[in-house]
Amino acid sequence: MFINNFDPVAIQILSLEIRWYSIAYIAGILIGWYLSKRYFISNQEIKEKFDDYITYIILGIIIGGRLGYVLFYNFDYYFYHPIDIIKIWQGGMSFHGGLLGIIFITLWFAKRNDHNPFYYLDIISIVAPIGIFFGRISNFINSELYGTVTSVPWAVKFIQIDNLYRLPSQLYEAIFEGLVLFVIILIFKNRGFLNFPGIISGIFLIFYSLFRFFIEFFRVPDEQLGYLIMNLTMGQIISFIFFIFGIYLITTKYEIKKKN
């Protein structure tokens, strides 16, 4: 059994605090950016536009992630405290909100440049698990999104939460939503599916949603929401919706692939 008493602040210079969560975001974006341009983008025109695209993606992640958390997870609070919406340093980001932010930004950016949006979304789908991995590790360090009480040998006591031993659900998500998902998508990419825009994006949505849905059974639900329809969490409900959309995307894009 492990005792987690990590400091969420990685570096402190006088009153300036640099948190592990910020480092995770930066590391995920920079590594994904580099790998995309170095290994995954073959279209020269897309590669030239990708630097500008990443700038907008960062905005989409931050704005979408924050608004997603406000709308999906804590609407009642922020309805009465709207000024707190901009206080992102206090925590509260939604992965699905960030994903929606990326999708909307990509649709706008692709239309502006007369490109197929799936050229961009497929590349992002390949490298997104890297950012997810770092994000879940920072969740573990921050003692947030922790698991249910257990007595298994690999249980973790989060000192900042209580004295109970819990499942390290953040590490489960880091492994499956990060490492395993990255390998799965690389396998499909290496089989040529990147040549058919939209299929890689659908694969990402399907497998991420599956992993997220099942791992949430081992995670404590958000305190302000608890369990909802059929004893499912908000994360599970949204993941199911994205899973259905992923199936639809795969079906429609694969039909186009067969015709070609």
Give the whole-angstrom CA distance, residue 227 versus residue 42.
45
Q: What is the pLDDT of residues 33-63, one digit of tens each?
A: 999 999 999 999 999 999 999 999 999 999 9
DSSP state, residue 221: P
What confidence tens digit (pLDDT) does each residue in 210-236 have? 999 999 999 999 989 999 999 999 999
* pLDDT score, position 257: 67
Contact by Cβ (8 Å): 3, 156: yes
pLDDT at 181 over 90: yes
Report d(CA 2, CA 58) in Å as an integer. 35
pLDDT above 90 for 248: yes
Instruction: Tell me the one-letter amino acid at 232.
Output: L
In one letter, which amino acid is 233?
T
Q: Each residue of 119-144: pLDDT tens digit?
A: 999 999 999 999 999 999 999 999 99
What is residue 160's DSSP assignment?
T
Q: What is the pTM assigned to this prediction?
A: 0.94
Q: What is the pLDDT of residue 32?
A: 96
What would the 3-class secondary structure string for 32-95 be?
HHHHHHHHHCCCHHHHHHHHHHHHHHHHHHHHHHHHHHHHHCCHHHHHHCHHHHHCHHHCCCCH
